[in-house]
Amino acid sequence: MPGLSNDQLELFERGGYLLIEGVMDPTGILDPLVAEYAEVLDMLATELHSTGRISETFSELSFSDRFIRIEQETNETNAQFFDFSLPQGGITHDTPMWLGKAVFEALVHPPLLDIVESVIGPEIYSNPVQHIRIKSPERRGAKDPLTGESKMGATNWHQDNGVVLPIADNTDMLTVWFSLDDAGIEHGCLQVLPGSHKAGLFTHCPAGPGGLEIPARVASRDRAMSIPTRRGDALLLHKRMVHASLSNTSDRIRWSLDLRYNPIGQETGRGVFPGFVARSRRDPNSEVRSPEGWASSWHRARAQLADAAEGGPFHRWSADAPACA
């Protein structure tokens, strides 16, 4: 797939977001991801059943129904077992991660990198601020026992520039979001505030299970636009695009990958986590081409952070900020 056209680049610059159809190969990239995560879920179910935390493994169910039933019985999102990044605190030597071949192949998918190259240039670094999000329908998912709120509900309004440290404020960071299945409004697709990336960095406030949030009085939601996606589509977001997700009101999970890239040599904003050279026209030998090498870098980081007295900070914000009062 070629990179973006001049018209597409102009749309991205003007709006701060761009939906591109058919970027991720359904059979070569998405199907292997689904199969790989099915193996992770099977391992998780087997472990939880062996320790008595779930009544059965639910092996006869679809991935979506199986994931939801396990979440219901454990009252946990179990998100960290599937993620290919580490949490922001409490890291131990056995904190779970999933660093499989199919995930790595998605990170370096050539048609995706072609698009990234047209935005940030040919020297592409895979930024370690990256996640898989598996969101059960809120009415069926894990609940906070004290508040009754969903443990993984709608994502708060935020900017990706705002969830990293100030050292990356001048980094040309690009977010690429894609789902493993169709993500409509009822599944909790993303929302954006078109043009909000031109207003600078907004104050973010700590806000419950959704993490950081830009208060509504700081950035109005009046112009919010929902962006439903089809399987294989990719949504590009400027680092200061104000965005969020809707609640999942459907009967199945919404699962998606949230990737970020920046030019080689620029700060990632989360330096304690490892990134890697995904593409370099200048020095192709510097590219990481091995899933095992990529996984090893995360295992080393986990060991170092587990041994460290402190792993953070991971963001700049305080609840004491005037906008958070």
Domains annotated for the chain, with CATH where assigned, are: 6-324 (2.60.120.620)
Alpha carbons 215 and 203: distance in angstroms, whole number: 8
- Beta strand 212-213 with 225-227 is unpaired
The tokens for 273 are 């986590």
Helix axes 63-74, 31-50, angle to 10 degrees: 30
Q: What is the pTM of this model?
A: 0.95
- Cα–Cα distances (Å) from 225 to 78, 189, 190, 256, in that order, read 30, 10, 9, 19
The tokens for 9 are 């680049």
The vertex-227 CA angle with 140 and 196, nearest 5°, equals 115
Tell me: the pLDDT tens digits for 76-135? 999 999 999 999 889 999 999 999 999 999 999 999 999 999 999 999 999 999 999 999
β partners of residue 158? 243
Alpha carbons 151 and 187: distance in angstroms, whole number: 16
Tell me: the pLDDT tens digits for 173-208? 999 999 999 999 999 999 999 999 999 999 999 886
The vertex-237 CA angle with 267 and 208, nearest 5°, equals 80
Return the H-helix or E-strand segment holding 131: strand 123-135
The answer to whether 210 touches 138, Cβ cutoff 8 Å, is no
Tell me: the pLDDT tens digits for 221-263? 999 999 999 999 999 999 999 999 999 999 999 999 999 999 9
- Cα–Cα distances (Å) from 22 to 114, 116, 168, 278, in that order, read 13, 15, 30, 21
Segment among 43-47, 152-156, 224-228, 316-320 with least mean pLDDT? 316-320
